[in-house]
């Protein structure tokens, strides 16, 4: 007869992993997102500063559980840079901002159906 309870008839032993990304540049200097039910793993920010950039700066705000953590890179040398944050809890609000730089914040989330 089918499953007659409020519990799922099966428990998945696998999940897809989805790569999420926020990007900012000189035309769009700020972007926001949040982590899903499974939280996030492998969170990192990558940023690129062109030669001659006036005042390059990149920042990431992470708001989780009533606490705000801010990471900032200022007076950044020209070239490619990266910073890793590691895992983030579910429902973390993420804000990426950049001035005179291109930046992207990436993280992976498990998703099952």
- What are the domain boundaries of the chain? 16-106
Cβ contact 71:85 at 8 Å? yes
Give the tokens for residue 103. Answer: 């930046």
Q: 12: pLDDT confidence band, cut at 50, 70 and 90? A: low
32 pLDDT more than 60: yes
Check the CA dihedral 81-85-87-88 and report its sign: negative
- Residue 110: what pLDDT? 86
HSE of 58, CA atoms in CB hemisphere, 13 A: 25
Read off the pLDDT of residues 71-98 as tens digits, 9 standing for 90 and up: 999 989 999 999 999 899 999 999 999 9
Dist. CA 37–CA 42, nearest whole Å: 16
Is CATH 2.60.120 the classification given to domain 16-106?
yes
């Amino acid at each position: 007869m089918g499953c007659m309870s409020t519990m799922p008839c099966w428990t998945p032993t696998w999940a897809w992993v989805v790569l999420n990304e926020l990007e900012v540049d000189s035309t769009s200097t700020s972007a926001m997102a949040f982590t899903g039910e499974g939280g996030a793993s492998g969170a990192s920010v990558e940023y690129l500063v062109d030669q001659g950039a006036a005042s390059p700066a990149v920042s990431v705000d992470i708001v989780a559980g009533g606490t705000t953590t801010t990471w900032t890179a200022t007076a950044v040398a020209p070239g490619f840079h990266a910073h890793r944050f590691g895992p983030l809890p579910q429902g973390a609000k993420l804000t990426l901002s950049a001035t005179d730089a291109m930046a992207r914040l990436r993280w992976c989330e498990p998703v099952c159906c």
